[in-house]
């Protein structure tokens, strides 16, 4: 492997920490995981591509991981009355619920911006 390349994902171990080059579950360096947007604004958009024609509401830039992200996703899904998932720092809610999600995040004190068309 060349000296300027770095492993970010392994099929055996999953995501790799950029600091200590260990699987994220065994990370010992405590390097902060970059998530969220640099300006701190949460982006909410509606997407259809690659989903078999189904519409989903996508929330990016939350800067949360693990249990915090799962808890927020659960609250958003309940507010929208819909299913969804939280993975890799992104929350996906099934259906077009952009306005509901924006209102719910603003109530929680987040700066939110609608992204896309």
Total domains in the chain come to 2
Average pLDDT over residues 31-44: 65
Same domain, 25 and 38: no
Same domain, 24 and 61: no
Same domain, 73 and 89: yes
Q: What share of the chain is helix, strand, coil (3-state, %, to 5)?
A: 25, 25, 50
Same domain, 65 and 99: yes
69 falls in which pLDDT band (50, 70, 90)? confident
Which residue range forms the structural domain that includes residue 27? Answer: 1-31
Same domain, 51 and 97: yes
Same domain, 48 and 96: yes
User: pTM score, two decimals?
Assistant: 0.66
The Cα 71–Cα 68 span in angstroms is: 5
pLDDT for residue 73 is more than 70 = yes
Return the pLDDT at 36: 55
């Amino acid at each position: 492997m060349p000296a300027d390349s770095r492993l970010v994902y392994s099929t055996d171990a999953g995501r790799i920490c950029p600091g200590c080059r260990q699987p994220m579950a065994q990370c010992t360096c405590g390097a902060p995981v970059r998530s969220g947007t640099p300006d701190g604004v949460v982006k909410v958009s509606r997407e259809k591509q690659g989903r078999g024609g189904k519409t989903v509401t996508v929330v990016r830039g939350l800067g949360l991981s693990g249990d915090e992200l799962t808890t927020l996703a659960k609250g958003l899904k309940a507010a929208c009355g819909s299913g969804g998932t939280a993975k890799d720092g992104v929350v996906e809610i099934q259906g077009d619920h952009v306005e509901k999600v924006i209102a719910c995040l603003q109530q929680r004190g987040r700066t939110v911006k609608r992204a896309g068309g």
